[in-house]
Amino acid sequence: QLQLVDSGGGLVQAGGSLRLSCVASGRTFSTYAMGWFRQAPGKEREFVAVVSWSGDNTNYADSVKGRFTISRDNAKNTVYLQMNALKPEDTAVYYCAANIVLRSDYVSVRSAEYDYWGQGTQVTVSS
């Protein structure tokens, strides 16, 4: 089992920044690709960003490219999502997730492939 704890959400004005963190415990963190997803009220959960086990490969949703940056520190068992130039449409509950992988460069945008999920952290962007 892998436990994930999300944090760092909050209320911010449009144009502002937040950094989300997700700390993992329970198993070897470095064998997982790590992703961030979000779910706004009345909408389905959607992919935001993912980083490979090695940290060398990333992928982003078009809506956040150029504004968000995902990174990981395997020594600290932590994945980060730096969010800049936030917009009201970024308002959602953000979830980190872990995907068991065999290749160090593998990344997926499909939530069904992820094996463990954090509890979520609320991000609210005011206009």
Question: pLDDT tens digits for 34-63?
Answer: 999 999 999 999 999 999 999 999 999 999
Q: What is the pLDDT of residue 28?
A: 72
pLDDT of residue 31: 85
Mean pLDDT of 71-82: 95
Averaged over 69-86, what is the pLDDT?
Answer: 96
Cα–Cα distance for residue pair 119/106, rounded to 1 Å: 24
State the pLDDT at residue 29. 62
At 34 the pLDDT is 96
* Residue 55 Cα distances to 30, 35, 52, 62, 76, angstroms: 9, 12, 5, 20, 13
Quick one: which H or E segment has residue 4?
strand 3-7
Assign 26 a pLDDT band (cuts: 50, 70, 90). Answer: confident
Is the per-residue pLDDT at 15 higher than 70? yes
CB 48 within 8 A of CB 22: no
- C-alpha–C-alpha distance, residues 7 and 18, integer Å: 11
With a cut of 70, say whether residue 30 has pLDDT above it.
Answer: no
DSSP 23-82: EEESS-GGGEEEEEEEE-TTS--EEEEEE-TTSS-EEE-TTTTTTEEEEEEGGGTEEEEE
The pLDDT confidence band at residue 93, using thresholds 50, 70 and 90, is: very high
Report the alpha-carbon distance of residue 46 to residue 37 in Å, rounded: 5
Confidence of residue 95 (pLDDT cuts 50, 70, 90): very high
